[in-house]
Chain A
């Protein structure tokens, strides 16, 4: 037996090798579709790059421009923060509310759960975005409904700086389904004995909710909060289709501005830099959330 083939044989017979081979599809995918593009995007973020001509290294210029010389960048940060910080808590409250109602098993519960989950699936689509736009138009459904209640108005909801972003927030809150499902399963896991003990102590419904249900739900709330917050910062379709950032950049989400920079203004280097700044912002917010975890999240055991 030749020594090389013997060594190779031994190598192949190791568990480590088998492990690596079976992990390979994931590893290759991870590298090719995530790490390498991220690396390239980081390089582009340091370049002047318009897609058509080769990138030209400019160092930190894009980052410096962004923070010192781009008012719209700050508008987009403001709009995105406002959107995420308002819509996510609202959505969670709404999801919890509906979950509380649907947790009691009745004959129609299954149907209602599916029905309330539906907006989560279709809500991010372009079709719904267009529907939303029509609903809030001056002669849309919203004004017609207001008309029924005697408020005769032609208010242009999407053109007013105060209301435009709220139409987007409303759309986001409406997509509460996935959070609701997670809350539902968490609600079912709360031991009955705790409620019975609370009954014995003479606790009312409100007390039971705040002293038993809510504390035991905090891990779920935390999970939902982190996930939804990240989604909130990456919101794109609603703003692009419904408002295009109008009026006066009040609904210009970060992701939309990034898209404009890259594909409308041919500044892909700048857009890459924006993507990295967004990564930083999300990392910081997630970090802060995790830091505050110990103050309000109830850990079992």
Chain B
């Protein structure tokens, strides 16, 4: 049986070969096997082989170019630029409109590429490795340091000096937001601040008023009252977002490692949610999922008070998003995040940056686009305050009347509430921050589930987070 199979295979293979070779042989059958003919025949066969190889090569490169995607090299050669950002549908549409407008005015085509937050950073990392970063990139505070350290961003200082990037309407603070070391690598797209959102309709019904710059104790008192009267819980310690507020108030900010001398300094942080869940006024993940998604936030989404909250914390620019996600008739209001020392905790932050890639073939043109996104009234008529309150004081004033009610509330909050009662920007996040944040989220979860005591969580956070930071140095 084995033999049979094998001989069959042999027949098949030689038969197949004859068919191919026969085709070539037939065309030469009448000619003599003189040297000349042999040579020609050889050439023809060589050509056939070369063709096969070429076909293979073409099929490979075809696959390759599909994956490679953007062909940014050709674009750079033809003077075209690319710009990448993360965001939502509103931002995609508005930014694309501005790019179209820019083409109309300046004649330079800027191709937009947009992604979800997570995809954006994996895309940027891989394209940076291949030296193919988009010319203009949207940058976040938590990644700026890392990208500067790896020399991925263009130093904008010379362009500011020669006026290509006009910063005359920007305050010193606003310019310094993009400073790393003594060079400027990014322009803030706008300003925002962390804040607390709360269900004003509910609190009004209960006859409870919230004032700005509330202390932590005042907040806990209110949270207890709301829980007793209505069953709604508070959501303060969630998704690792409160740590910054806590650390600033206690002077234990992350510089290149966690601040503070020992785990002791972090026990109080975890105590807030441990006690809160025990006493009932703070939500636990078994009642509602802990999420960073606005639409699924238990403040605006849920079926009854038992799985809903009356407050949450996030960036102030999200007010519109929360108000949109909230059920009809529910008014969402904005206030400062409760803290043991609100003045220390509050700060005005760049909502994000525009940066230019160090790989760009056309830095001059790229910086011009940056300038357009910073100083053009035309651009901001479209963008409005979607990326924060514009840093240019002239533009901010111009667009104010065009803003929606929520955006105006947000702008007023930043200028009237946060700015007068705030302190300096924190140092940029060192590498390893995203991993340490993930650890913090997991520990918060364990404390809320009652798996860990605050002391144990603080111990693990202090040791493991410092290990993570050390590893990334």
Q: Give the B-binding residues of A (Cβ under 8 A).
A: 1, 5-6, 8-9, 12-13, 15, 17-19, 21-22, 24-25, 28-29, 32-33, 50-53, 72, 138-139, 154, 156, 158-161, 246-249, 260, 262-267
Contacts and interface: CB of A to CB of B under 8 A. Distances in A.
B49 A21 contact: yes
Contact of A22 (B52, B290, B302): B52
B445 A154 contact: no
B35 A1 contact: yes
Contacts of A9: 38, 41-42, 45
Interface centre among B59, B125, B304 (most CB of A within 10 A): B125
A25 B42 contact: no
A156 B286 contact: yes
A154 B307 contact: yes
B125 A263 contact: yes
A139 B303 contact: yes
Interface in B128-172: 128-129, 146-147, 150, 152
17 contacts: A1-B35, A5-B38, A9-B45, A15-B13, A28-B56, A51-B125, A138-B288, A159-B289, A247-B286, A263-B121, A263-B125, A264-B118, A265-B432, A265-B434, A266-B125, A266-B431, A266-B434
Contacts of B434: 264-266
Given A138-B303, A138-B307, A246-B285, 16 more contacts: A1-B35, A5-B38, A5-B42, A13-B21, A25-B55, A52-B146, A52-B147, A138-B288, A158-B289, A159-B287, A247-B285, A247-B286, A248-B442, A248-B449, A265-B432, A266-B431
Contacts of B63: 29, 33
Contacts of A265: 432, 434-435, 438
Nearest to A23: B56
A13, A158, A247, A260 pick with most chain B CB within 10 angstroms: A247
Contact of A18 (B17, B55, B431): B17
A52 B303 CA distance: 45
B68 to A, nearest CB: 13
B46 interface: yes
A24 B435 contact: no
A248 B307 contact: no
Given A5-B39, A52-B125, A160 B21 contact: no
A249 B442 contact: yes
B125 A1 contact: no
B122 interface: yes
B425 interface: no
Nearest to B292: A244
B52 A8 contact: no
Interface string B269-312: 00000000000000001111110000000000011101100000
Contacts of B285: 159, 246-247
A12 to B, nearest CB: 5
Contact of B60 (A32, A138, A260): A32
A249 B445 CA distance: 10
B128 A18 contact: no
A18 B303 CA distance: 70
Contacts of A28: 56-57, 60
Contact of B45 (A1, A12, A25, A266): A12
A12 B445 contact: no
A110 B286 CA distance: 44
Contacts of A50: 125, 431
Interface of B: 13-14, 17, 20-21, 35, 38-39, 41-42, 45-46, 49, 52-53, 55-57, 59-60, 63, 118, 121-122, 125-126, 128-129, 146-147, 150, 152, 285-290, 302-304, 306-307, 431-432, 434-435, 438, 442, 445-446, 449, 451, 472
A6 B21 CA distance: 17
Nearest to A14: B17
Given A13-B21, A52-B129, A159-B289, A246 B435 contact: no
A181 B306 CA distance: 45
A24 B56 contact: yes
A267 to B, nearest CB: 8
Nearest to B449: A248
B152 A52 contact: yes
A167 to B, nearest CB: 12
A248 B49 contact: no
Nearest to B298: A138
A63 B146 CA distance: 25
Which of A21, A51, A52, A154 gathers most chain B CB within 10 Å? A52
A246 B446 contact: no
Contacts of B17: 15, 18
Contacts of A24: 52-53, 56
A285 B323 CA distance: 51
B20 A51 contact: no
A248 B451 contact: yes
A218 B52 CA distance: 44
Contact of B435 (A29, A32, A264): A264
A266 B118 CA distance: 12
Contact of A156 (B53, B146, B288, B449): B288
Contacts of B125: 50-52, 263, 266
Given A12-B45, A12-B49, A265-B435, A246 B121 contact: no
Contacts of A15: 13-14, 17
A18 B306 contact: no
Contacts of A161: 449
B286 A260 contact: no
A263 B122 contact: yes
Nearest to B468: A265
A264 B55 CA distance: 39
Nearest to A249: B442
A26 to B, nearest CB: 9
Contacts of A6: 38
Chain A CB within 10 Å, residue with most, of B52, B60, B289, B432: B289
Contacts of B38: 1, 5-6, 9
A83 B60 CA distance: 37
A28 B89 CA distance: 41
Most B C-beta atoms less than 10 A away, residue of A32, A161, A266? A266
Nearest to A244: B291
Given A28-B60, A139-B302, A51 B129 contact: yes
B289 A156 contact: yes
A160 to B, nearest CB: 6
A154 B53 contact: no
B64 to A, nearest CB: 8
